[in-house]
């Protein structure tokens, strides 16, 4: 999974962009995964969060979970195995969740939707995400 997949990447990025524009146009909502997840599953006791409001979020999450199974029908190349242990994956997930709460959003909300709206906060947040990712890769490669 390290080869360049320019066409597939352009198609995938285009689909993500189209989906973000449709969600913003139709629902007036930002396609930030951490916010969608939070309001669908965690913040379900909020009386302002009606069942209709939660339902589209649950379908959105279901689409994310089911998409690898659907991709197999299109002969997509998916990773065959995960080499990290479950505790490492759980710890990484915890830190990603913590970071998205502290940063008031995730890479999809800031990087795709925020930059597309020229949000200064999102541009700064995305730069911080990317610098952190680059430093993490460099540190892991040197260890």
Tens digit of each residue's pLDDT, the chain (143 residues)? 567 778 888 888 888 889 888 988 888 888 888 888 888 877 666 555 576 778 888 888 898 889 888 888 888 777 777 788 889 889 988 888 888 888 788 878 888 888 888 989 989 988 988 898 899 889 988 87
Assigned domain for 121 exists:
yes
**pLDDT at site 46:** 58
Domain that holds residue 80: 6-142
Assigned domain for 56 exists:
yes
**pLDDT at site 44:** 60
Assigned domain for 37 exists:
yes
Tell me how far apart the alpha carbons of residues 24 and 18 are, in angstroms, rounded to a whole number: 10
Assigned domain for 62 exists:
yes
119 neighbors 23 (Cβ within 8 angstroms): no
31 neighbors 113 (Cβ within 8 angstroms): yes
What pTM, to 2 d.p., does this model score?
Answer: 0.71
Assigned domain for 124 exists:
yes
Tell me how far apart the alpha carbons of residues 108 and 96 are, in angstroms, rounded to a whole number: 13
Assigned domain for 1 exists:
no
Domains: count for the chain: 1
E strands along the chain, which residues? none
* CA dist 33 → 72, 78, 110, 133 (Å): 23, 21, 10, 18
């Amino acid at each position: 999974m390290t080869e360049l997949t320019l066409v597939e990447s352009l198609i995938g990025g285009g689909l993500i962009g189209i989906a973000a524009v449709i969600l913003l146009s139709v629902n007036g909502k930002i396609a930030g995964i951490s916010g969608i997840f939070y309001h669908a599953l965690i913040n379900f006791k909020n009386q302002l969060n009606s069942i209709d409001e939660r339902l589209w979020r649950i379908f959105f999450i279901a689409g994310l979970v089911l998409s690898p199974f659907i991709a197999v029908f299109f002969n997509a190349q998916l990773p065959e195995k995960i080499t990290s242990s479950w505790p490492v994956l759980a710890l990484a997930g915890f830190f990603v969740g913590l970071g998205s709460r502290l940063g008031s959003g995730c890479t999809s909300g800031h990087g795709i939707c925020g930059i597309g709206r020229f949000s200064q906060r999102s541009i700064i947040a995305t730069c911080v995400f990317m610098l952190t990712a680059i430093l993490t890769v460099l540190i892991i490669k040197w260890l």
